[in-house]
Amino acid sequence: MDYFEYYNTLYYKSDADIYNLLKRCLIRDHFGYYVNENYIQALYDRAMERNPKIFYDALQDALITIHNWSDKMSEAKVIEIKRLDYLSDYEVRELVATIGAAKKNPPLDLSNLQRSAITEIFGIAPENMLFCRVGGDSMVNANIYDGSTLIIDTAKIARNNDIVVISLNNELFVKRIQFNKGEVALISENDGYDSYKIRPDDNYKIVGVVKQVIQDL
């Protein structure tokens, strides 16, 4: 399929479809898998035509996946990010069913579920909600395993002993955070890993506070 044929097929794709296709192509291209250059160009052009944010979100999230999959450490790290705007209808239904929201009274209609229901369930504004898939085993005692999905609130201010996603020297870690007399410590939930005290020369930022841990999403 040439550029114009593929570009035209994208007319019928949702923003979520274009975001996911772009992210997948960028990741595969980085790791040396064949990706048709016409497809990447067509996806880029269609995304920029609709909303440049689609492309920049896909690029940012692809880079996070590329960086952390390339690292062989077993620390609990974020290896993939998804955003509410780009979840498929199937993923939304699976998310709600997994957390048991379908058992509410009256039950939610999973066949016609709106994304607004997700924000109501968790009390997080859509622009502040991220879904982060974890790789590594340093947080297993907090029931955060390799492959777990975290729902985080990027607007919530972290308090002592909260579990957070934190950017530390350009890597995204999942840790319990402790504040003590001006010092910040990152605590693992696995006896095989040491705690880490933030140093003055460290570049760090708390990305968000973990609100929910989901297995097998």
pLDDT digits (tens, 9 = 90+) for 178-200: 999 889 999 999 988 888 999 99
Res 101: pLDDT: 47
pLDDT digits (tens, 9 = 90+) for 135-155: 888 999 999 988 888 999 999
- Alpha helices by DSSP H, listed for the chain, are 3-9, 15-30, 37-50, 52-69, 89-98, 115-122
178 CB burial (10 A radius; 0-12, 13-18, 19+): middle
Higher pLDDT, 88 or 117: 88
Residue 206 CB contacts under 8 Å (≥ 6 apart), including other chains:
158, 164, 165, 166, 167, 177
Higher pLDDT, 98 or 147: 147
CA separation for the pair 110, 212 (Å, rounded): 20
Q: What does pTM read for this prediction?
A: 0.72
Q: What's the rounded mean pLDDT across residues 199-207?
A: 93
pLDDT more than 90, % of the chain: 41
Domains of the chain as residue ranges with CATH: 1-70 (no CATH), 72-84+127-217 (2.10.109.10)
